[in-house]
Structure 1
Amino acid sequence: MKAVNPYLNFNGNTEEAFNFYKSVFGGEFATIMRFGETPGCESMPETEKNGIMHVALPMGNSILMGTDVPKSMEQVKFGTNSSITIDAESREEAKRLFDGLAMGGKIGMPMDDMFWGAYYGMLTDKFGVQWMINFDTRNV
């Protein structure tokens, strides 16, 4: 397996969410496509044509991807069915990413040293996406 890349679905606020993630992780979008620019979406309601059909934000060796779900489809219901885990390269990076993602969100488990040898924390960001931040302290 070369990589596992998370793909997030949003109810019309993908651009806001990905600009937030870009502010936390840095980098530039590899791709950002709108429904109105996409073949086959000509008959889509004008109010949805500015929505994000596909966005890709490189993060290390992975890519965080997402889309707006058109109102004509079943709307996204965020819950406890998925999390994104980030293995940080340092304690400082883990803390920076955790603090950035926690802005406006809800901390489930603050960053702390864990019995299994990691500096670890859990949170749900302001868009309802669950994150687990991990730094393996055994290999320092």
Structure 2
Amino acid sequence: MKIHAYLTFDGQCEAAFKFYADCLNGSVDLMRFGDSPEAPNVPEQFHSRIIHACLTHGDQMLMACDTLPGTPYTGIKGCAISLQVENLPEAERLFEALSAQGSVEMPLQPTFWATSSAVLTDRFGVMWRIICNIDAQMG
């Protein structure tokens, strides 16, 4: 069994996943409502929305979709995507990339549980936790 996070957006899934692929050096596969067997059941103006997105980085996977028309959307709440990295330069790179146009709850800093850790919400409303347990300068 594998456990993967699955995010839901309100029309921003494609932009978010292209941004994440850039930040995480991953690749994205997108399927639109209009290209799926559900197309006849979805109003044409929503055919460009994403019915399923998959971002892969090595053997890691993050998935998502857009909401359907008329589905209440209150944002992504109560969870965060955690990135555990092996060196401080990578933690700094990810922090800078993901926090661009977002908000920072805790800047990248040493903590009692990690060499360095940060908490931010990106411009799409997704919370991220970056955790670095091995400082490259410490060997």
Scaled by the length of structure 1, what TM-score is found? 0.89
Describe how 1:114-125 pairs up with structure 2 within 5 A: 114-125=111-122
Check the 8 A contact 2:20/2:26 in 1, yes or no: no
Instruction: Work out whether 1:101 is the aligned partner of 2:98.
Output: yes
Aligned-residue RMSD, C-alpha: 1.8
TM-score (norm 2): 0.90
CA contact (8 A) 1:124 1:130 kept: yes
Moved over 4 A (4+): none
SS at match of 2:86: coil
**In 2, Cα distance between equivalents of 1:123 and 1:25:** 15
Choose which of 57, 61, 64 in structure 2 pairs with 1:63.
Answer: 61
Residue by residue over 1:85-114, the C-alpha shift from the partner in whole angstroms, topping out at 9 and shown as x without a partner, is: 110121111111111000000011110111
Deviation at residue 116 of structure 1 after TM alignment: 2.5
Q: What letter corresponds to residue 123 of structure 2 in structure 1? A: K
Structure 2, unaligned runs of 5 or more = none
Q: Which runs of 5+ in 1 are unaligned?
A: none
SS in 1 for 2:118: strand
Mapping for residues 13-24 of structure 1, pairs under 5 Å: 13-24=12-23
The aligned residue for residue 127 of structure 1 is: 124
> Are 2:84 and 2:130, in contact at CA under 8 Å, matched by a contact in 1?
yes
Confirm or deny: 8 A CA contact 1:6 1:64 kept in the other structure: yes
Percent identical across equivalent pairs? 34
Partner-residue secondary structure (3-state), 1:39: coil
Task: Give the match for residue 42 of structure 1.
Answer: 40
How far has the Cα of 1:5 moved from its partner? 1.6
